[in-house]
Structure 1
Amino acid sequence: MYLVGFYSPKSKSGVTELCLSIYNWLKLNTTLSAAYISYGTLEKEEISNELIHEFSKLSLAEQKSKVKQMKKEYDIIIYDASSQLSEGVLKLLPIVDRLFVVGEEHKDFAVKLQQIIQFDKIFDKSVKSFITHLQGNKTYIIRENKEDHVIGFKYTKKDTNDIGQMIYTDYVTHYINEKFIEKNEKVLKKIKQIPKDELFNGLYELGLDFEKALLFHKFVILRELLGQNSNEAIETLFPLLINSSFKELLEKFQNELLFITKLKI
Protein backbone atom coordinates (compact mmCIF):
# COMPACT_ATOMS: atom_id res chain seq x y z
CA MET A 1 0.00 0.00 0.00
CA TYR A 2 2.76 2.43 0.97
CA LEU A 3 6.06 2.53 -0.93
CA VAL A 4 9.14 4.19 0.64
CA GLY A 5 12.18 4.80 -1.57
CA PHE A 6 15.79 5.30 -0.45
CA TYR A 7 18.50 6.64 -2.75
CA SER A 8 21.97 8.17 -2.65
CA PRO A 9 24.10 9.50 -5.51
CA LYS A 10 27.19 8.38 -3.59
CA SER A 11 28.52 4.83 -3.83
CA LYS A 12 28.89 2.82 -0.62
CA SER A 13 26.76 5.33 1.28
CA GLY A 14 25.04 2.75 3.47
CA VAL A 15 21.64 2.93 1.76
CA THR A 16 21.15 -0.85 1.74
CA GLU A 17 22.21 -1.19 5.38
CA LEU A 18 19.76 1.57 6.31
CA CYS A 19 16.93 0.02 4.27
CA LEU A 20 17.39 -3.39 5.84
CA SER A 21 17.52 -1.92 9.35
CA ILE A 22 14.26 -0.01 8.70
CA TYR A 23 12.64 -3.12 7.19
CA ASN A 24 13.60 -5.18 10.25
CA TRP A 25 12.52 -2.39 12.63
CA LEU A 26 9.05 -2.33 11.05
CA LYS A 27 8.72 -6.09 11.41
CA LEU A 28 9.80 -6.01 15.06
CA ASN A 29 8.01 -2.88 16.26
CA THR A 30 4.73 -2.77 14.35
CA THR A 31 1.95 -5.14 13.36
CA LEU A 32 2.19 -3.98 9.75
CA SER A 33 3.16 -6.37 6.98
CA ALA A 34 6.45 -5.18 5.48
CA ALA A 35 8.28 -6.09 2.28
CA TYR A 36 11.62 -5.15 0.73
CA ILE A 37 12.71 -4.49 -2.86
CA SER A 38 16.34 -3.97 -3.82
CA TYR A 39 17.20 -2.60 -7.26
CA GLY A 40 20.59 -4.32 -7.00
CA THR A 41 21.80 -7.64 -5.61
CA LEU A 42 21.96 -8.45 -1.90
CA GLU A 43 24.79 -10.71 -0.78
CA LYS A 44 23.41 -12.27 2.41
CA GLU A 45 19.61 -12.13 2.22
CA GLU A 46 17.70 -14.85 0.42
CA ILE A 47 14.97 -14.02 -2.08
CA SER A 48 11.45 -14.62 -0.78
CA ASN A 49 7.93 -13.38 -1.46
CA GLU A 50 8.53 -10.35 0.76
CA LEU A 51 12.24 -9.78 0.11
CA ILE A 52 13.04 -9.16 -3.55
CA HIS A 53 16.39 -8.22 -5.04
CA GLU A 54 17.97 -7.97 -8.50
CA PHE A 55 14.94 -5.86 -9.40
CA SER A 56 17.00 -4.19 -12.14
CA LYS A 57 16.92 -7.44 -14.12
CA LEU A 58 13.15 -7.16 -14.61
CA SER A 59 11.66 -5.16 -17.47
CA LEU A 60 9.72 -2.00 -16.64
CA ALA A 61 6.46 -3.86 -17.32
CA GLU A 62 7.51 -6.67 -14.97
CA GLN A 63 8.57 -4.16 -12.30
CA LYS A 64 5.24 -2.39 -12.64
CA SER A 65 3.32 -5.64 -12.28
CA LYS A 66 5.39 -6.72 -9.27
CA VAL A 67 4.99 -3.40 -7.43
CA LYS A 68 1.26 -3.35 -8.13
CA GLN A 69 0.91 -6.88 -6.74
CA MET A 70 3.02 -6.15 -3.66
CA LYS A 71 1.14 -2.93 -2.87
CA LYS A 72 -1.99 -5.07 -2.58
CA GLU A 73 -0.31 -7.63 -0.32
CA TYR A 74 1.83 -5.50 2.04
CA ASP A 75 1.22 -2.43 4.18
CA ILE A 76 4.71 -0.93 3.67
CA ILE A 77 7.31 -1.70 1.00
CA ILE A 78 10.91 -0.49 1.40
CA TYR A 79 12.48 0.22 -2.01
CA ASP A 80 16.29 0.26 -1.97
CA ALA A 81 17.40 2.12 -5.12
CA SER A 82 20.96 2.39 -3.70
CA SER A 83 23.45 4.31 -5.82
CA GLN A 84 22.42 3.05 -9.23
CA LEU A 85 21.22 6.15 -11.05
CA SER A 86 19.75 4.84 -14.28
CA GLU A 87 16.71 5.30 -16.48
CA GLY A 88 15.10 2.36 -14.71
CA VAL A 89 15.56 3.90 -11.27
CA LEU A 90 14.28 7.28 -12.44
CA LYS A 91 11.16 5.65 -13.87
CA LEU A 92 10.45 3.86 -10.59
CA LEU A 93 11.10 6.75 -8.21
CA PRO A 94 8.01 8.78 -9.25
CA ILE A 95 5.68 6.13 -7.86
CA VAL A 96 7.11 6.10 -4.34
CA ASP A 97 4.94 7.69 -1.66
CA ARG A 98 7.98 8.94 0.24
CA LEU A 99 11.55 9.39 -1.02
CA PHE A 100 14.65 9.71 1.18
CA VAL A 101 17.95 10.91 -0.25
CA VAL A 102 20.72 9.69 2.05
CA GLY A 103 23.44 12.17 2.99
CA GLU A 104 23.13 15.73 4.30
CA GLU A 105 25.40 16.93 1.49
CA HIS A 106 22.94 15.78 -1.17
CA LYS A 107 20.08 18.23 -0.51
CA ASP A 108 20.67 20.08 -3.80
CA PHE A 109 20.70 16.77 -5.62
CA ALA A 110 17.41 15.79 -3.95
CA VAL A 111 15.74 19.00 -5.11
CA LYS A 112 17.05 18.52 -8.67
CA LEU A 113 15.92 14.90 -8.65
CA GLN A 114 12.45 16.00 -7.60
CA GLN A 115 12.35 18.46 -10.52
CA ILE A 116 13.34 15.72 -12.98
CA ILE A 117 10.70 13.38 -11.57
CA GLN A 118 7.98 16.04 -11.74
CA PHE A 119 8.98 16.81 -15.36
CA ASP A 120 8.82 13.12 -16.29
CA LYS A 121 5.44 12.78 -14.61
CA ILE A 122 4.08 15.44 -16.97
CA PHE A 123 5.86 14.76 -20.26
CA ASP A 124 7.18 11.17 -20.30
CA LYS A 125 4.36 8.89 -21.46
CA SER A 126 5.90 5.72 -20.07
CA VAL A 127 6.31 7.29 -16.62
CA LYS A 128 2.86 8.85 -16.78
CA SER A 129 1.19 5.55 -17.63
CA PHE A 130 3.19 3.85 -14.87
CA ILE A 131 1.99 6.40 -12.33
CA THR A 132 -1.67 6.31 -13.33
CA HIS A 133 -1.51 2.51 -13.27
CA LEU A 134 -0.82 2.39 -9.53
CA GLN A 135 -3.13 3.23 -6.67
CA GLY A 136 -1.79 5.76 -4.18
CA ASN A 137 0.61 7.49 -6.55
CA LYS A 138 -1.11 10.87 -6.11
CA THR A 139 0.66 11.39 -2.82
CA TYR A 140 4.29 11.49 -4.00
CA ILE A 141 6.19 13.62 -1.50
CA ILE A 142 9.65 14.99 -0.89
CA ARG A 143 9.32 17.07 2.25
CA GLU A 144 11.98 19.63 3.01
CA ASN A 145 12.28 19.66 6.77
CA LYS A 146 15.74 19.96 8.27
CA GLU A 147 14.62 18.78 11.69
CA ASP A 148 13.17 15.57 10.29
CA HIS A 149 16.10 15.07 7.87
CA VAL A 150 13.73 14.27 5.03
CA ILE A 151 15.58 15.85 2.13
CA GLY A 152 19.08 14.64 2.81
CA PHE A 153 19.95 13.05 6.13
CA LYS A 154 23.07 11.54 7.61
CA TYR A 155 22.26 8.01 8.69
CA THR A 156 23.64 6.37 11.81
CA LYS A 157 22.35 3.14 13.37
CA LYS A 158 20.86 5.02 16.32
CA ASP A 159 18.60 6.88 13.85
CA THR A 160 16.79 3.67 12.86
CA ASN A 161 14.11 4.11 15.52
CA ASP A 162 13.47 7.76 14.60
CA ILE A 163 13.28 7.02 10.88
CA GLY A 164 11.12 3.96 11.50
CA GLN A 165 8.73 6.02 13.61
CA MET A 166 8.63 8.69 10.87
CA ILE A 167 7.74 6.09 8.23
CA TYR A 168 5.10 4.54 10.46
CA THR A 169 3.53 7.97 11.06
CA ASP A 170 3.62 8.65 7.32
CA TYR A 171 1.92 5.33 6.68
CA VAL A 172 -0.93 6.16 9.08
CA THR A 173 -1.40 9.56 7.41
CA HIS A 174 -1.26 7.97 3.97
CA TYR A 175 -3.81 5.33 4.98
CA ILE A 176 -6.23 8.03 6.11
CA ASN A 177 -5.61 10.00 2.90
CA GLU A 178 -6.32 6.91 0.81
CA LYS A 179 -9.63 6.36 2.57
CA PHE A 180 -10.48 10.02 2.04
CA ILE A 181 -9.53 9.77 -1.65
CA GLU A 182 -11.75 6.69 -2.03
CA LYS A 183 -14.70 8.62 -0.57
CA ASN A 184 -13.98 11.60 -2.81
CA GLU A 185 -13.89 9.37 -5.88
CA LYS A 186 -17.30 7.92 -4.99
CA VAL A 187 -18.75 11.42 -4.57
CA LEU A 188 -17.18 12.60 -7.83
CA LYS A 189 -18.67 9.60 -9.65
CA LYS A 190 -22.13 10.51 -8.32
CA ILE A 191 -21.72 14.15 -9.39
CA LYS A 192 -20.71 13.14 -12.91
CA GLN A 193 -23.92 11.10 -13.20
CA ILE A 194 -26.09 14.19 -12.57
CA PRO A 195 -27.51 15.65 -15.83
CA LYS A 196 -25.59 18.87 -16.44
CA ASP A 197 -28.76 20.99 -16.52
CA GLU A 198 -29.69 19.58 -13.10
CA LEU A 199 -26.23 19.94 -11.54
CA PHE A 200 -27.29 22.52 -8.95
CA ASN A 201 -30.29 20.45 -7.78
CA GLY A 202 -28.25 17.25 -7.75
CA LEU A 203 -25.49 18.80 -5.63
CA TYR A 204 -28.07 20.21 -3.23
CA GLU A 205 -29.72 16.80 -2.90
CA LEU A 206 -26.31 15.26 -2.15
CA GLY A 207 -26.08 17.59 0.85
CA LEU A 208 -24.14 20.58 -0.47
CA ASP A 209 -25.08 24.03 0.83
CA PHE A 210 -27.53 25.92 -1.42
CA GLU A 211 -25.14 28.80 -2.18
CA LYS A 212 -22.14 26.58 -2.84
CA ALA A 213 -24.13 24.24 -5.09
CA LEU A 214 -25.37 27.18 -7.16
CA LEU A 215 -21.90 28.72 -7.42
CA PHE A 216 -20.28 25.45 -8.45
CA HIS A 217 -22.92 25.01 -11.17
CA LYS A 218 -22.12 28.49 -12.50
CA PHE A 219 -18.39 27.73 -12.37
CA VAL A 220 -18.88 24.60 -14.47
CA ILE A 221 -20.93 26.60 -17.01
CA LEU A 222 -18.11 29.17 -17.18
CA ARG A 223 -15.57 26.45 -17.90
CA GLU A 224 -17.84 25.02 -20.60
CA LEU A 225 -17.96 28.44 -22.27
CA LEU A 226 -14.16 28.32 -22.33
CA GLY A 227 -14.19 24.99 -24.16
CA GLN A 228 -14.05 22.33 -21.44
CA ASN A 229 -16.66 19.59 -21.59
CA SER A 230 -18.92 19.21 -18.58
CA ASN A 231 -17.26 16.16 -17.01
CA GLU A 232 -13.76 17.58 -17.47
CA ALA A 233 -14.85 20.86 -15.86
CA ILE A 234 -16.43 19.01 -12.91
CA GLU A 235 -13.30 16.90 -12.41
CA THR A 236 -10.87 19.84 -12.48
CA LEU A 237 -13.06 21.96 -10.20
CA PHE A 238 -13.92 19.14 -7.80
CA PRO A 239 -10.87 19.69 -5.50
CA LEU A 240 -12.01 23.32 -5.06
CA LEU A 241 -15.49 22.13 -4.18
CA ILE A 242 -14.20 19.74 -1.52
CA ASN A 243 -11.36 21.76 -0.03
CA SER A 244 -12.53 25.38 -0.32
CA SER A 245 -15.02 27.42 1.65
CA PHE A 246 -17.82 29.24 -0.18
CA LYS A 247 -15.84 32.49 0.14
CA GLU A 248 -12.69 30.92 -1.38
CA LEU A 249 -14.68 29.32 -4.20
CA LEU A 250 -16.40 32.64 -4.94
CA GLU A 251 -13.06 34.45 -5.01
CA LYS A 252 -11.64 31.89 -7.45
CA PHE A 253 -14.74 32.19 -9.65
CA GLN A 254 -14.60 36.02 -9.67
CA ASN A 255 -10.87 36.05 -10.47
CA GLU A 256 -11.38 33.70 -13.39
CA LEU A 257 -14.32 35.74 -14.64
CA LEU A 258 -12.27 38.95 -14.38
CA PHE A 259 -9.37 37.37 -16.24
CA ILE A 260 -11.67 36.30 -19.09
CA THR A 261 -13.21 39.76 -19.25
CA LYS A 262 -9.77 41.36 -19.58
CA LEU A 263 -8.83 38.96 -22.37
CA LYS A 264 -11.88 40.04 -24.35
CA ILE A 265 -11.11 43.77 -24.00
Structure 2
Amino acid sequence: MYLVGFYSPKAKSGVTELSLSIYKWLKRNTYLSAAFISYGTLEKEEPSNELVHEFSKLSWAEQKRKVKKMKKEYDIIIYDASSQLSEGVLKLLPIVDRLFVVGEEHKDFAVKLYQTIQFNKIFDKSVKSFISQLQGNKTAIIRENKEGRVIGFNYSEKEANDIGQMVYTDYVTYYLEMKFIEKNKKIYNKIRKIPKEELHKGLYELGIDFEKALLFHKFIVLREVLGQDYNEALESLFPLLIHSSFDELLQKFQKELYIIAQFKI
Protein backbone atom coordinates (compact mmCIF):
# COMPACT_ATOMS: atom_id res chain seq x y z
CA MET A 1 0.00 0.00 0.00
CA TYR A 2 2.70 2.46 1.02
CA LEU A 3 6.26 2.84 -0.31
CA VAL A 4 8.90 4.65 1.77
CA GLY A 5 12.22 5.49 0.14
CA PHE A 6 15.53 6.06 1.95
CA TYR A 7 18.15 7.80 -0.16
CA SER A 8 21.47 9.64 -0.04
CA PRO A 9 23.27 11.41 -2.90
CA LYS A 10 26.60 9.83 -1.93
CA ALA A 11 27.89 6.28 -1.48
CA LYS A 12 28.52 4.61 1.90
CA SER A 13 26.06 6.86 3.75
CA GLY A 14 24.54 4.12 5.87
CA VAL A 15 21.31 4.08 3.84
CA THR A 16 21.08 0.29 3.70
CA GLU A 17 21.75 -0.18 7.42
CA LEU A 18 19.22 2.50 8.33
CA SER A 19 16.46 1.30 6.00
CA LEU A 20 16.93 -2.33 7.10
CA SER A 21 16.73 -1.30 10.75
CA ILE A 22 13.43 0.51 10.08
CA TYR A 23 12.04 -2.52 8.22
CA LYS A 24 12.95 -4.75 11.18
CA TRP A 25 11.58 -2.20 13.67
CA LEU A 26 8.22 -2.21 11.87
CA LYS A 27 8.15 -6.02 11.94
CA ARG A 28 8.82 -6.04 15.70
CA ASN A 29 6.69 -3.13 16.87
CA THR A 30 3.63 -2.84 14.61
CA TYR A 31 0.81 -4.95 13.23
CA LEU A 32 1.76 -3.98 9.65
CA SER A 33 2.78 -6.45 6.97
CA ALA A 34 6.16 -5.08 5.88
CA ALA A 35 8.46 -5.76 2.92
CA PHE A 36 11.89 -4.54 1.85
CA ILE A 37 13.34 -3.66 -1.57
CA SER A 38 17.08 -3.23 -2.03
CA TYR A 39 18.39 -1.47 -5.13
CA GLY A 40 21.63 -3.43 -4.76
CA THR A 41 22.70 -6.75 -3.25
CA LEU A 42 22.26 -7.54 0.45
CA GLU A 43 25.09 -9.73 1.72
CA LYS A 44 23.63 -10.73 5.11
CA GLU A 45 19.92 -11.05 4.23
CA GLU A 46 18.31 -14.01 2.48
CA PRO A 47 16.11 -13.02 -0.49
CA SER A 48 12.40 -13.87 -0.23
CA ASN A 49 9.01 -12.66 -1.47
CA GLU A 50 9.08 -9.85 1.08
CA LEU A 51 12.81 -9.11 0.94
CA VAL A 52 13.85 -8.29 -2.62
CA HIS A 53 17.51 -8.02 -3.69
CA GLU A 54 19.12 -6.48 -6.79
CA PHE A 55 16.20 -4.31 -7.81
CA SER A 56 18.60 -2.47 -10.15
CA LYS A 57 18.78 -5.52 -12.44
CA LEU A 58 15.09 -5.19 -13.35
CA SER A 59 14.04 -2.96 -16.24
CA TRP A 60 12.15 0.28 -15.46
CA ALA A 61 8.85 -1.32 -16.53
CA GLU A 62 9.57 -4.41 -14.40
CA GLN A 63 10.41 -2.24 -11.39
CA LYS A 64 7.10 -0.41 -11.65
CA ARG A 65 5.18 -3.68 -12.03
CA LYS A 66 6.99 -5.17 -9.03
CA VAL A 67 6.23 -2.14 -6.84
CA LYS A 68 2.58 -2.11 -7.93
CA LYS A 69 2.21 -5.82 -7.12
CA MET A 70 3.94 -5.50 -3.72
CA LYS A 71 1.81 -2.49 -2.73
CA LYS A 72 -1.23 -4.73 -3.11
CA GLU A 73 0.32 -7.42 -0.89
CA TYR A 74 1.95 -5.39 1.92
CA ASP A 75 0.92 -2.49 4.14
CA ILE A 76 4.32 -0.81 3.94
CA ILE A 77 7.42 -1.33 1.78
CA ILE A 78 10.83 0.08 2.68
CA TYR A 79 12.89 0.95 -0.41
CA ASP A 80 16.66 1.10 0.04
CA ALA A 81 17.62 3.45 -2.79
CA SER A 82 21.34 3.66 -1.95
CA SER A 83 23.53 3.71 -5.05
CA GLN A 84 24.90 7.24 -5.34
CA LEU A 85 23.42 9.42 -8.08
CA SER A 86 22.14 6.91 -10.63
CA GLU A 87 19.50 7.38 -13.28
CA GLY A 88 17.65 4.24 -12.20
CA VAL A 89 17.20 5.41 -8.62
CA LEU A 90 16.25 8.94 -9.58
CA LYS A 91 13.57 7.67 -11.98
CA LEU A 92 11.91 5.71 -9.17
CA LEU A 93 12.12 8.35 -6.44
CA PRO A 94 9.08 10.34 -7.65
CA ILE A 95 6.78 7.29 -7.32
CA VAL A 96 7.56 6.63 -3.66
CA ASP A 97 4.85 7.78 -1.26
CA ARG A 98 7.39 9.26 1.15
CA LEU A 99 11.05 10.05 0.62
CA PHE A 100 13.64 10.45 3.38
CA VAL A 101 17.13 11.72 2.64
CA VAL A 102 19.77 10.16 4.89
CA GLY A 103 22.37 12.46 6.48
CA GLU A 104 21.75 15.86 8.06
CA GLU A 105 24.47 17.28 5.84
CA HIS A 106 22.13 16.69 2.88
CA LYS A 107 19.27 18.86 4.10
CA ASP A 108 19.77 21.47 1.34
CA PHE A 109 19.86 18.68 -1.22
CA ALA A 110 16.64 17.24 0.26
CA VAL A 111 14.84 20.56 -0.19
CA LYS A 112 16.06 20.99 -3.78
CA LEU A 113 15.14 17.41 -4.68
CA TYR A 114 11.64 17.91 -3.28
CA GLN A 115 11.22 21.18 -5.20
CA THR A 116 12.43 19.55 -8.43
CA ILE A 117 9.98 16.66 -8.11
CA GLN A 118 7.11 19.04 -7.31
CA PHE A 119 8.01 21.24 -10.30
CA ASN A 120 8.15 18.26 -12.66
CA LYS A 121 4.66 17.21 -11.53
CA ILE A 122 3.29 20.44 -13.05
CA PHE A 123 4.07 19.04 -16.50
CA ASP A 124 3.07 15.47 -15.74
CA LYS A 125 -0.07 14.55 -17.69
CA SER A 126 -1.01 12.02 -15.00
CA VAL A 127 -1.60 14.73 -12.37
CA LYS A 128 -3.68 17.23 -14.37
CA SER A 129 -7.11 16.47 -12.96
CA PHE A 130 -8.29 17.38 -9.47
CA ILE A 131 -8.58 13.80 -8.30
CA SER A 132 -5.13 12.95 -9.69
CA GLN A 133 -3.70 16.04 -8.05
CA LEU A 134 -5.09 14.87 -4.72
CA GLN A 135 -3.34 11.57 -5.20
CA GLY A 136 -0.20 13.25 -6.46
CA ASN A 137 0.07 15.39 -3.34
CA LYS A 138 1.26 12.36 -1.40
CA THR A 139 4.36 11.98 -3.55
CA ALA A 140 7.87 12.66 -2.22
CA ILE A 141 6.87 14.63 0.85
CA ILE A 142 9.99 15.28 2.90
CA ARG A 143 8.78 15.61 6.48
CA GLU A 144 10.40 17.54 9.30
CA ASN A 145 11.56 15.95 12.55
CA LYS A 146 10.81 17.04 16.11
CA GLU A 147 13.51 19.73 16.08
CA GLY A 148 12.06 21.27 12.91
CA ARG A 149 15.02 20.34 10.73
CA VAL A 150 14.58 19.05 7.22
CA ILE A 151 14.61 15.26 7.22
CA GLY A 152 18.07 13.74 7.07
CA PHE A 153 19.34 11.09 9.45
CA ASN A 154 22.62 10.61 11.23
CA TYR A 155 21.84 6.98 11.86
CA SER A 156 22.54 5.31 15.18
CA GLU A 157 20.89 2.45 17.06
CA LYS A 158 19.52 4.98 19.52
CA GLU A 159 17.68 6.84 16.76
CA ALA A 160 16.15 3.74 15.10
CA ASN A 161 13.13 3.83 17.41
CA ASP A 162 12.46 7.55 16.76
CA ILE A 163 12.76 7.09 13.00
CA GLY A 164 10.58 3.96 13.09
CA GLN A 165 7.92 5.88 15.01
CA MET A 166 8.13 8.69 12.47
CA VAL A 167 7.67 6.31 9.53
CA TYR A 168 4.78 4.54 11.26
CA THR A 169 3.05 7.85 12.04
CA ASP A 170 3.54 8.89 8.43
CA TYR A 171 1.92 5.63 7.29
CA VAL A 172 -1.13 6.29 9.47
CA THR A 173 -1.42 9.83 8.05
CA TYR A 174 -1.11 8.46 4.52
CA TYR A 175 -3.78 5.82 5.22
CA LEU A 176 -6.21 8.51 6.38
CA GLU A 177 -5.37 10.65 3.33
CA MET A 178 -6.20 7.73 1.04
CA LYS A 179 -9.52 7.16 2.78
CA PHE A 180 -10.32 10.85 2.35
CA ILE A 181 -9.45 10.68 -1.37
CA GLU A 182 -11.55 7.55 -1.88
CA LYS A 183 -14.53 9.25 -0.23
CA ASN A 184 -14.18 12.33 -2.44
CA LYS A 185 -13.85 10.20 -5.57
CA LYS A 186 -17.09 8.37 -4.75
CA ILE A 187 -18.93 11.67 -4.22
CA TYR A 188 -17.49 13.15 -7.42
CA ASN A 189 -18.44 10.10 -9.49
CA LYS A 190 -22.03 10.31 -8.16
CA ILE A 191 -22.20 14.01 -9.09
CA ARG A 192 -20.93 13.32 -12.61
CA LYS A 193 -23.90 10.98 -13.18
CA ILE A 194 -26.47 13.70 -12.38
CA PRO A 195 -28.09 15.18 -15.54
CA LYS A 196 -26.62 18.67 -15.78
CA GLU A 197 -30.07 20.30 -16.08
CA GLU A 198 -30.95 18.80 -12.68
CA LEU A 199 -27.58 19.33 -11.01
CA HIS A 200 -28.91 21.37 -8.06
CA LYS A 201 -31.66 18.81 -7.38
CA GLY A 202 -29.20 15.93 -7.53
CA LEU A 203 -26.79 17.68 -5.18
CA TYR A 204 -29.61 18.32 -2.73
CA GLU A 205 -30.54 14.63 -2.83
CA LEU A 206 -26.89 13.79 -2.04
CA GLY A 207 -27.12 15.89 1.13
CA ILE A 208 -25.86 19.32 -0.02
CA ASP A 209 -27.81 22.31 1.37
CA PHE A 210 -30.32 23.46 -1.23
CA GLU A 211 -29.02 27.07 -1.36
CA LYS A 212 -25.46 25.88 -1.81
CA ALA A 213 -26.49 23.33 -4.43
CA LEU A 214 -28.37 25.99 -6.39
CA LEU A 215 -25.44 28.41 -6.21
CA PHE A 216 -23.02 25.72 -7.34
CA HIS A 217 -25.30 24.94 -10.31
CA LYS A 218 -25.28 28.64 -11.26
CA PHE A 219 -21.51 28.67 -10.97
CA ILE A 220 -21.25 25.76 -13.42
CA VAL A 221 -23.60 27.56 -15.84
CA LEU A 222 -21.43 30.68 -15.58
CA ARG A 223 -18.33 28.72 -16.46
CA GLU A 224 -20.12 27.17 -19.44
CA VAL A 225 -21.14 30.64 -20.65
CA LEU A 226 -17.45 31.57 -20.48
CA GLY A 227 -16.66 28.64 -22.77
CA GLN A 228 -15.54 25.97 -20.30
CA ASP A 229 -16.64 22.39 -20.92
CA TYR A 230 -19.27 21.19 -18.42
CA ASN A 231 -17.20 18.27 -17.09
CA GLU A 232 -14.09 20.44 -16.78
CA ALA A 233 -16.10 23.06 -14.88
CA LEU A 234 -17.52 20.36 -12.61
CA GLU A 235 -14.09 18.99 -11.81
CA SER A 236 -12.39 22.36 -11.26
CA LEU A 237 -15.18 23.64 -8.97
CA PHE A 238 -15.69 20.36 -7.09
CA PRO A 239 -13.14 21.27 -4.35
CA LEU A 240 -15.12 24.46 -3.63
CA LEU A 241 -18.32 22.47 -3.26
CA ILE A 242 -16.73 20.04 -0.79
CA HIS A 243 -14.47 22.32 1.21
CA SER A 244 -16.12 25.77 1.12
CA SER A 245 -19.03 27.20 3.05
CA PHE A 246 -21.97 28.83 1.26
CA ASP A 247 -20.53 32.29 1.97
CA GLU A 248 -17.09 31.33 0.60
CA LEU A 249 -18.66 29.85 -2.52
CA LEU A 250 -20.80 32.96 -2.97
CA GLN A 251 -17.75 35.22 -2.59
CA LYS A 252 -15.89 33.25 -5.28
CA PHE A 253 -18.93 33.36 -7.59
CA GLN A 254 -19.37 37.12 -7.13
CA LYS A 255 -15.67 37.70 -7.79
CA GLU A 256 -15.88 35.93 -11.14
CA LEU A 257 -19.03 37.89 -12.03
CA TYR A 258 -17.18 41.11 -11.20
CA ILE A 259 -14.24 40.16 -13.43
CA ILE A 260 -16.63 39.41 -16.32
CA ALA A 261 -18.35 42.77 -15.82
CA GLN A 262 -14.98 44.54 -15.92
CA PHE A 263 -14.11 42.90 -19.22
CA LYS A 264 -17.46 43.86 -20.74
CA ILE A 265 -16.85 47.49 -19.84
What is the TM-score of this pair, normalised by structure 1?
Answer: 0.89
Q: Which residue of 1 aligns with 2:103?
A: 103
Aligned match of 1:31? 31
Q: CA RMSD in A?
A: 2.4
Structure 2 contact 83–89 (Cα < 8 Å) conserved: no
Matched, 1:118 2:118: yes
CA contact 2:135–2:181 (8 Å) conserved in 1: no
How far apart, CA to CA, are the structure 2 residues paired with 1:212 and 1:153?
A: 48
| Cα distance in 2, alignment partners of residues 87 and 180 from structure 1 | 34
- What amino acid maps onto 2:165 in structure 1? Q
* Structure-to-structure mapping, 1:115-194, within 5 angstroms: 115-123=115-123, 137-140=136-139, 141-144=141-144, 147=147, 149-194=149-194
* Corresponding pairs, count: 261
1:197 is aligned to 197
Residues 183/154 of structure 1: CA separation in 2 closer, same or farther (3 Å cut): same
Equivalence for 1:210? 210
SS at match of 1:139: coil
Q: Distance in 1 between matches of 2:193 and 2:48?
A: 45
Farther off after superposition, 170-179 or 250-259: 250-259
SS where residue 81 of structure 2 aligns? strand
Once the two structures are superposed, residues 194-243 of structure 1 have per-residue CA deviations (whole angstroms, 9 ceiling, x without a partner) of 01111111101110011211121122222223332112221222122212
CA contact (8 A) 1:97 1:137 kept: no
Q: Tell me: CA distance 1:157–1:222, structure 2 relative to 1, closer, same or farther (3 Å).
A: farther
Tell me how far apart the structure 2 counterparts of residues 263 and 67 of structure 1 sit (CA, whole Å): 51
Structure 2 CA distance for partners of 1:261 and 1:81, relative to 1, 3 Å: farther
The answer on whether the counterparts of 2:40 and 2:83 sit within 8 Å (CA) in structure 1 is: no
Q: What secondary structure, in the 3-state scheme, does the structure 2 residue paired with 1:249 have?
A: helix
1:42–1:205 CA distance, 2 compared to 1 (3 A)? same
1:15 aligns with 2:1: no
SS at match of 2:80: strand
Judge which range, 187-196 or 98-107, deviates more.
98-107
CA-to-aligned-CA distance 1:112-144 (integer Å, 9 cap, x gap): 11122123323356x879xx99x9654122234
Contact 2:2 2:75 survives alignment (8 Å): yes
> Once the 2 structures are TM-superposed, how far is the Cα of residue 79 of structure 1 from its aligned partner?
1.0
Q: Distance in 1 between matches of 2:149 and 2:37?
A: 23
Q: Following superposition of structure 1 onto structure 2, how do residues 15-94 of structure 1 map, counting pairs within 5 Å?
A: 15-94=15-94
Following superposition, the deviation at residue 65 of structure 1 comes to 0.7
Counterpart for residue 243 of structure 1? 243
Look up the match of 1:228.
228
SS of residue matched to 1:3: strand
Per the alignment, do residues 2 and 222 of structure 1 end up closer, same or farther by CA in structure 2, a change over 3 Å counting?
same
- Between the aligned partners of 2:258 and 2:105, the Cα distance in structure 1 is 46
TM-score scaled to structure 2, two decimals? 0.89
Identity of aligned residues (%): 76
Q: Taking structure 1 as reference, are residues 223 and 238 closer, same or farther at Cα in structure 2, changes over 3 Å only? A: same
SS at match of 1:6: strand
Report the Cα distance in structure 1 between the residues aligned to 2:105 and 2:262, rounded to whole angstroms.
48
Aligned AA (1:143): R
Indicate conservation of the 8 Å contact 1:7/1:82, yes or no. yes
Q: Secondary structure at the match of 2:4?
A: strand
- Tell me which amino acid in the other structure corresponds to 1:248: E
Amino acid at match of 1:180: F
